[in-house]
Amino acid sequence: MDTLGARQRSKRMALVRGKDTKPELLVRRLVHGLGYRYRLHRRDLPGTPDLVFPARRRVIFVHGCFWHRHIDGALARLPKSRIDFWLPKLEGNVERDARNLHELRKLGWGVMTIWECQLSDTARVVSRIKRFLDA
């Protein structure tokens, strides 16, 4: 890749946020609208969950399909260039997510993952959240 293309991609990737993403903000609005209260990004828990419900011992992760390799997600495709860079990075994210999920469950936390692509059906997401938090 030429240096101009590399610089453009670098600028684009620098804009990717880890917190307060559009999908996460949407889930937060839905959860708040349902009357549930939560904490954000508790760093003392494995994986720093996006939403934490301490009294219920439940956490919700809002994952981007690309970054976390959602198998059923249309946005989980691999980039066309630099596969040797991207594949290990994205597979590492999947492995880390699995470790964090295992650790949280071992600590007695219920875990829910909401994928970016699922947010197009908000009624279904709301139903899943209510079932999860009321269990």
CB atoms within 10 A of CB 57: 12
Average pLDDT, the chain: 89
40 has which bridge partners? 51
Q: Which pLDDT value is given to residue 11?
A: 62
Question: Is the pLDDT assigned to residue 62 strictly greater than 60?
Answer: yes
Strand partners, 60: 51, 112
pLDDT at residue 103 tops 70: yes
Structural domains in the chain plus CATH codes: 22-134 (3.40.960.10)
pLDDT at 1 over 90: no
Query: Which of 27, 64, 51 lies closest to 104, judged by CA?
Result: 51
Q: Which residues pair with 27 in a beta bridge?
A: none
pTM, whole model, 2 decimals? 0.85
State pLDDT tens for residues 7-18: 665 666 555 556
Q: How many helices (H) and strands (E) does the chain have?
A: 5, 4
Q: How confident is the model at residue 27 (pLDDT cuts 50, 70, 90)?
A: very high
Say which amino acid occupies 70.
H
